[in-house]
Amino acid sequence: MGDDGDRDRGAKETEEETGRDTKETEGQKETRRQKQRRRRERRREEGTKRKQSDRRREKETDERETQAEPGQDPKRDRRRQGDRNKGDRGI
């Protein structure tokens, strides 16, 4: 059995043995490439590159708009509330 014992029991080949990274299979690589390709095509169609932070910001804005009643901005309301707490200064 010797050195080939691990392989006989179904263990994965190591990177040194094959000369390539074995953590990601060929099918996984292809799937990842397809997703990247679709993402690039979608960006090209939109004409913009949207970063993750932009998407997060858009999502937060959408959530705020759906939670607030029409014509209200929750951030502005918080600022107004701060003014109310300062006492009667005629603000």
What pLDDT is stored for residue 25 in this prediction? 84
Quick check: 91 pLDDT over 60?
no
Alpha carbons 74 and 29: distance in angstroms, whole number:
44
Burial class (CB within 10 angstroms; exposed 0-12, middle 13-18, buried 19+) of 68: middle
15-48 per-position pLDDT tens digit: 666 666 667 788 888 999 999 999 888 888 877 6
- Residue whose structure tokens are 């299979």: 25
